[in-house]
Amino acid sequence: MPDVPSTPCLVGPTGSGKSDVGVLLARAAGPGSEVISCDAFAVYRGMAILTAAPDAPPDVPHRLVGILGPDEVYDAARFVTDADYYVGRAREAGHTALVVGGTALYLRAWLKGFDMEAPRDDAYREHLKEVVAAEGPARLHALLTQVDPARAKELHPNDLRRIVRALEIHHVTGTPASAQRVSWSGPDRVPARVVYLERDLADLDRRIDARTEAMFEAGLVDEVRDLLQHPMSPQARQVLGLAEVESLLAGEIDEAEAKASIARRTRRFARKQGTFFRGFSGLQRLPVAEGEDAASIAKRAGEFL
C-alpha cells in the first residue's frame, strides 16, 4: 500500500518510559495527534495503578485505555479492529495516530494479521456430537468458556454450529478462535515504522523496582481491594501484581514480600517482551542511556518515526 502513510509505533518493555516519550512524540506531530495504547491490560477500568495506565494530557487523547470493565475480555483480534479504526479515523482527519505499548502479540497481529483458520477435524466433530447426545448442548458451551471465553461470550449456548467450529479450531491449533494464530510471515498488512526503546537491563531493573514502590505509594492496595469486589475475567486476572496484593490482603504475605514478588515477576516479564520484539523485522532499536530525559529520547526517536 505505497499510497498509505506509515503509522509510527513506539514500543519497549515495561518500565522503559514509553508513555512519556509517546506523549512528546504525539505533540511534536502536531495538533490533533493522538496515542493508541497497545497494552493488553490498560484497556481495563479500575486498574490504572496496576497497569501503570498512561495519564493522558488534554491535548493528547489516548485510545484503548480504560474502555472495558474488569469482567470483559479483550484479545489481539479485537485490538486489530480497534487499531484499524482509530488509525483510519485520525488519518481521515489529517492527524497522526501513534501506537504506543508493550504488548508485542497485539502489535504483531496488527502488522501481520492472522493465519488461516484450522482445517476440519471430522473425528473430533464426531466426539463433540457424542458429548451433546450424552450431556446436552450446554456442555459444549461450557467447554468453550474454559478454552476461549471471548468467543463463548459472543455465542448463544444453542449455536452449536459455531461452538463446534470454535472448539475445533482450539483443538487443532491450541489457540482460541477469538485470537487465531498471529502470522509470522508474509508482507505487513499495514505500513508502519517501529522504534523499540532499549535500556540496559540493570537500568531497567532499577526502574521497575522504583515503579513497584511508586505503585504502593499511589494506593495499589486500595485499588486491588476495590477491584476484587467485582467480577473479573480470566484475562484481567492475569495482570501483574494482582495475585500478590490479593495474597497481601488475605494475610498470606506481608508488604515487603508482595513488593519483591511483583518486581521480580515484572523484571522477568520485561525480558520476555524484549525476546518477543526481537522477532520483528524492520524494527529500529533505540538505545536509551540511564538518566536520559524523555525529551531527549523523543527527539532521537522522532528521527526514525
Q: Among 76-90, 181-195, 268-282, where is mean pLDDT lowest?
A: 181-195
pLDDT at 168 over 90: no
pLDDT at 209 over 80: yes
More reliable by pLDDT, 299 or 1:
299
Predicted confidence at residue 116, as pLDDT, reads: 54
pLDDT band at 179 (very low <50, low <70, confident <90, very high): low
pLDDT at 180 over 80: no
pLDDT at 186 over 80: no
pLDDT at 19 over 80: yes
Predicted confidence at residue 244, as pLDDT, reads: 98
pLDDT at 174 over 80: no
List Cβ neighbours of 166 (8 Å cut-off, separation of 6 or more).
144, 148, 151, 152, 155, 176, 177, 178
CATH 1.10.20.140 in the chain, residues?
122-179
Predicted confidence at residue 248, as pLDDT, reads: 98
Predicted confidence at residue 51, as pLDDT, reads: 95
pLDDT at 217 over 90: yes
Beta carbons of 18 and 44 less than 8 angstroms apart:
no
7-114+182-302 fold: Rossmann fold (3.40.50)
More reliable by pLDDT, 111 or 188:
111
The arithmetic mean of pLDDT across residues 196-216, rounded, is: 98
Residue-wise pLDDT for 61-73, tens only, equals 999 999 999 999 8
Predicted confidence at residue 2, as pLDDT, reads: 45
Share of the chain above pLDDT 90, in %: 72
CATH architecture of 122-179: Orthogonal Bundle (1.10)
Query: What pTM was computed for the model?
Result: 0.80
pLDDT at 48 over 70: yes
Quote the CA–CA distance of 216 and 258 in Å, as a whole number. 10
Of 145-149, 219-223, 235-239, give the range with the top mean pLDDT: 219-223
Q: What share of the chain is helix, strand, coil (3-state, %, to 5)?
A: 50, 10, 40
More reliable by pLDDT, 115 or 253:
253
Of 25-29, 105-109, 280-284, give the range with the top mean pLDDT: 25-29
Strand partners, 199: 288
CATH 3.40.50.300 in the chain, residues?
7-114+182-302
Burial annotation 160-174 (CB, 10 A radius, 16+ → b, else e): beebbbbbbbbeeee
Predicted confidence at residue 100, as pLDDT, reads: 98
**Mean pLDDT, the chain, as a whole number?**
91
Residue-wise pLDDT for 255-281, tens only, equals 999 999 999 999 999 999 999 898 787
Q: State the DSSP code for 181.
A: P
Quote the CA–CA distance of 15 and 205 in Å, as a whole number. 8
pLDDT at 234 over 80: no
pLDDT band at 126 (very low <50, low <70, confident <90, very high): very high
More reliable by pLDDT, 78 or 200:
200
The string of DSSP letters for the chain reads -TTSPPEEEEE--TTS-HHHHHHHHHHHT-TT-EEEEE-TTTTBTT-TTTTT-----TTS-EESSS-B-TTS---HHHHHHHHHHHHHHHHHTT--EEEEES-HHHHHHHHH-BPPPPPP-HHHHHHHHHHHHHH-HHHHHHHHHHH-HHHHHHS-TT-HHHHHHHHHHHHHHSS-GGGPPBP-SS--SS-EEEEEEEE-HHHHHHHHHHHHHHHHHTTHHHHHHHHTTS---TTGGGSTTHHHHHHHHTTSS-HHHHHHHHHHHHHHHHHHHHHHHTT-TT-EEEEE-TT--HHHHHHHHHTT-
